Structure 1
Amino acid sequence: MTRTPLVAPLLGLAVVLLSAAPALGQAPAPAARSTAKAAAVSPAISDVLKTPRPKGGEWLGLYLMDKKVGYFFTDLAPVPGRPNQVKSINELVFKATVGSKPSERVHREERIYEAKPGGRLLSFVVEQRGDGGEQRLEATQTAEGLRVVRKRPGLPEEVRMLPASRETVEDADQARVAIHRKATVVGTITDGTDLESYKVTTTLERQEERMVRGVKVRLHKAQTLSEKEKVPVVAYVTDEGEMVEVDFGETMKARSESEAVAKRLDVVEVFGLTRIVLPRQLPAEARSIPGRAVLVMKGLPEKFQVNSYRQKFVKLPDGNVEVTLSADLPRQASLKPAPLADPDGGENLKATIIVESDNAEIRKLAKKLGGSDKDAYTVAKKIVTWVATSLEKDYGASADRASDVLRQMKGDCTEHSLLAVAMLRALGIPARRVDGVVYMMNEDGVPAFYWHEWIEAYVGEWTQMDPTFNQIVADATHFGVGQEGNAEITPLIGQLKVVEVRDRPSGATGSQAPAGR
């Protein structure tokens, strides 16, 4: 059994909300609006302080498919005693059940900026607790770049030097800055999970009327898009500066609430809530190598319909899409020795704070497993087999860092994939994680797709492998829609449907795309 890998992408998407639009909650009291008047006197103060916001922070509930799975606390204000600095505080709590195990994550960020227009990000602290592990990141801008100290219980401190962050104080609340300026805001966010910097853009859309607490109100509408998550985050804001709702498509919403209401959560089993039920079982051929499965899907946006060596798409007259999933061994003639250049320019060989392919213990183990073999596919099979047979399958033993997975030696699909990718990259084999769904029948006997994560390795051509189920070729029960735990897949949750399982393709010709190898 695999745990749904949705918790991390949902967390990442929620952090975009926190970073780009932290001022959410109840209507600002008159005292809170005084900030704008004070700011108007001093032209040296950023626009982020010229917009009204509730005094003392705000609370909002987080809903997944109309089920309460978490809440936020956010605040942004001048630093007491330091009027030339601004502090942004954002805390996210996520609680749900994954299978039979409870999953709880707490992600808290405090960021300090210069208060002047275009003020620099000076420092930040990120604290993570619960499912995924515990750690504290303390980052400071220095003349040499961003210095990050990583602290974990029982382990020595780690220091990383990263390029200087280009994030400014306006990026702490792009939505309200855009509304204040009546213009698009473009900036950069240094992500609190992977420490990479991403372009973030907020644009204004046409105002919209909605019922707010029984009263029809005309709301400003600001859309924020991160180049990492690629999911539009739409905020609805009153003339008085209250952000009453934030939408992440149809899947996830944040709603302004009192503290007591925000903390009142539903009991949600994410694994079952987000599955995609099939009208009948997949044929036995889907489990074979070579193998095939043919499905008719509804609710699959066109951007996901990219033909590859594993997935072919045909648009049907009724608006649905026929999807042919296939699996086969990589072509013998294409196999090459490691190390290999990354055909995508280097991202799939990169060591990061999450993948950690530069970790000494990971490198040592990967080299031992690879042995004297040079053929990249042979080595990749050894790595995948070792991960599949050595890690204990444990639904609730999550870890968000490859070194943590190696230390605890247990986990679900996300941990298996993360460690396998880290070891492959350590040996110079380009690799990445694949997010999507896999076919299973659980105890209730219902044929369904469940959210899953596996890997793709470049061994002279790309090939998908599943280190959770010990498949050296991921069979045709796997349908991939994203990469690297990215939140881009979240709008599919609750929208994607399988309306038919076919025995063979229709034979129609769909729009062709590069094969993806």
Structure 2
Amino acid sequence: MAILALWIVMMGLLVQREREARRPVDAPPVEWRQPTETVGAAGPAREQWMGVYLNGTKLGYTVTRRQKQDGILRIEAKSHLLLPLQGEMRAVETESLVEVDAAQYMRSFSFTLDSEMQQMRVTGHVEPDRLVLRIESGGTTATRTIPLEKPITVPDALTPILAGSGRLRANTTHTLDLFDPMALAPAKAMVTIGQPEMIEGVDGPIRVLRAEISYKGFRTTAWVTPEGDTLKEESAMGWTMVRQNREDAMKPPEGDPQTDLVYSAAVPTNRVLKSPRQVKFLRAELTGADFSTLSLATERQQVEAAESGIVEIRREVPEAVRAPRLPVTEPQMKPYLAPDLLIQSDDPAIIETARKIVGRESDSWKAAVRIARWVHREVEKSPTVSVPSALEVLRTRKGDCNEHTVLFVALARAAGIPAEIAVGIVYLNDSFFYHAWPRVWVGQWVSMDPTFGQEVADATHIELVHGGLDRQSEIVRLIGRLRVRIIRAEE
């Protein structure tokens, strides 16, 4: 799952900063002559090294090893990335193993993410009509069973599967069922193979097939050989992976990076707001993407028309509604009180921390304010690449808006306050930036922002989705495409 590391990075871009994206810069030419074969216990294996670049700046490498025995294809992948985040370099390493059966479907997989802030391992195996997942993070282990209507594969196996089944041919289109590693759920990918074309190589032009891969609105272009070997891959925001020899791929980045990941995700806008944290009303137009699957219409955010992209946000007044006493027991709120894979609100450490923070307070809104103030005070603001776990954040007390939000939601649910994660954009220093914050139900839904220290989030918080990982992954397809035009702002 080499590309998964880049997807996680993109999810990690839900943080705030202050610069517009740079224009993409070309990566170096492809270094490819003949696939390397090494001898292992299961026989010859094909090895593929690729340098990873962002707008022409090298950030690391990936290596993929494909080996087949007794009809089972094993795809092992490793990546090592040094990521520029808000003036700091963050190291991220991933390892994965996928087994594909003779019918070209996934049998099992494992994925490990290791960063300065998190160690996470996800494993899964396919049983008849279901996928059984095991997630280890923050010192805890959780399992989930996902019903399957059809056999599935994973993103990194798409072109090898098409090649192995004889379907990697020019001018063809294929729809494949796969496992979405970000949302931990099934999804569909469309692969369109175009005409053969030439790409630049160190020894001259190389004839390849161009594959356009569309996946939940996230688009990747890959240049592949007829055998399914990827020589080059490009995706949003200037990410490029280029086939190289082992020595060149493993060369460390030289000098200071010219692109910051957070800067690259900036959403340009047309106006400067002098006091954005004081904005109580915002009218804005969103353009550049399909918003039909997003959660634009909420209690505080009105949509003029689905096709127009015009939204109006009004900052809530929690005091206008009498808050229920703790614990909140309304039946319709049960989903927002339940623990989740990474929101371990039933863990004794989370429960005990919530109890200490809330104390004897029985008013749900006042209790939510106590939790928000505690999270803002206790969690150090630090740029992070992770899939945050509430227990891990409770232990490290570090992170960006993702970490603040997931810990707040877990503590709120443990205290009996319905809460969920909202993801969208927020105005800061002349641009909008991807951001996460919590919503709580205290007689009405109220958006809070413990990262900024806001008891009620200002109206420049434009919500795009709310809910779990399956909903949050919708954001990836917007990065680099979304634009905002501010029509009116009132303090």
> With CA pairs under 8 Å and 6+ residues apart, which has the higher RCO, 1 or 2?
2
CA–CA distance in structure 1, aligned partners of residues 309 and 266 of structure 2: 19
CA–CA distance in structure 2, aligned partners of residues 66 and 281 of structure 1: 30
Look up the match of 2:188: 201
Q: Out of 298, 316, 322, which is 1:308 matched to? A: 298
- 2:71 matched to 1:95? no
CA–CA distance in structure 1, aligned partners of residues 54 and 119 of structure 2: 24
CA–CA distance in structure 2, aligned partners of residues 139 and 105 of structure 1: 22
CA–CA distance in structure 2, aligned partners of residues 325 and 201 of structure 1: 33
CA–CA distance in structure 2, aligned partners of residues 131 and 379 of structure 1: 32
8 Å CA contact 1:140, 1:148 repeated in 2: no
Look up the match of 2:449: 466
Gaps in structure 2 of 5+ consecutive residues: 1-5, 14-29, 38-43, 168-172
Q: Relative to structure 1, is the Cα distance of residues 460 and 161 closer, same or farther in structure 2, using a 3 angstrom cutoff? A: same
Give the counterpart letter for 1:465 in structure 2.
M
- 2:177 matched to 1:177? no
Look up the match of 2:107: 121
- Tell me how many residue pairs correspond in the alignment: 443
Q: Relative to structure 1, is the Cα distance of residues 499 and 222 closer, same or farther in structure 2, using a 3 angstrom cutoff? A: closer
Deviations 1:302-342, CA, capped at 9 Å, x for gaps: 435833333345589xx985543321224744744433458
Q: Relative to structure 1, is the Cα distance of residues 222 and 388 closer, same or farther in structure 2, using a 3 angstrom cutoff? A: same
TM-score in terms of structure 1 length: 0.70
Look up the match of 1:357: 345
TM-score in terms of structure 2 length: 0.74
Give the counterpart letter for 1:117 in structure 2.
A
Q: Relative to structure 1, is the Cα distance of residues 90 and 10 closer, same or farther in structure 2, using a 3 angstrom cutoff? A: farther
Q: Relative to structure 1, is the Cα distance of residues 424 and 64 closer, same or farther in structure 2, using a 3 angstrom cutoff? A: farther
Alignment of 1:328-343 (within 5 A): 328-330=316-318, 332-333=320-321, 335-337=323-325, 338-340=327-329
8 Å CA contact 2:376, 2:450 repeated in 1: yes
Q: Relative to structure 1, is the Cα distance of residues 77 and 260 closer, same or farther in structure 2, using a 3 angstrom cutoff? A: same
8 Å CA contact 1:184, 1:201 repeated in 2: no
Q: CA RMSD in A?
A: 4.2
8 Å CA contact 1:275, 1:448 repeated in 2: yes
- 2:376 matched to 1:388? yes
Q: Out of 389, 411, 417, which is 2:399 matched to? A: 411
Q: CA deviation at 1:60?
A: 2.8
Alignment of 1:162-241 (within 5 A): 162-163=144-145, 170-171=153-154, 173-178=157-162, 180=165, 182=167, 184-189=174-179, 191=181, 196=184, 198-205=185-192, 207-208=194-195, 210-213=197-200, 215=205, 217=207, 219=209, 221=211, 223-225=213-215, 231-241=218-228
CA–CA distance in structure 2, aligned partners of residues 225 and 218 of structure 1: 22
Q: Out of 269, 294, 313, which is 2:283 matched to? A: 294
Q: Out of 80, 83, 108, which is 2:95 matched to? A: 108
Look up the match of 1:130: 115
CA–CA distance in structure 1, aligned partners of residues 384 and 291 of structure 2: 35
- Give SS of 1:163's match: strand
CA–CA distance in structure 2, aligned partners of residues 397 and 476 of structure 1: 27
- 2:63 matched to 1:78? no
Give the counterpart letter for 1:495 in structure 2.
R
* Greater CA drift, 403-412 or 270-279: 270-279
- Give SS of 1:434's match: strand
- 2:389 matched to 1:401? yes
Q: CA deviation at 1:419?
A: 0.5
Q: Relative to structure 1, is the Cα distance of residues 236 and 495 closer, same or farther in structure 2, using a 3 angstrom cutoff? A: same
Q: Relative to structure 1, is the Cα distance of residues 224 and 421 closer, same or farther in structure 2, using a 3 angstrom cutoff? A: same
* Greater CA drift, 172-181 or 429-438: 172-181
CA–CA distance in structure 2, aligned partners of residues 250 and 178 of structure 1: 27
CA–CA distance in structure 2, aligned partners of residues 251 and 493 of structure 1: 11
Q: Relative to structure 1, is the Cα distance of residues 176 and 8 closer, same or farther in structure 2, using a 3 angstrom cutoff? A: closer
Deviations 1:224-282, CA, capped at 9 Å, x for gaps: 525xxx52445443434333444445654444344444445471322333334554431
CA–CA distance in structure 1, aligned partners of residues 142 and 308 of structure 2: 48
Q: CA deviation at 1:164?
A: 7.3
Look up the match of 1:449: 432
Give the counterpart letter for 1:10 in structure 2.
M
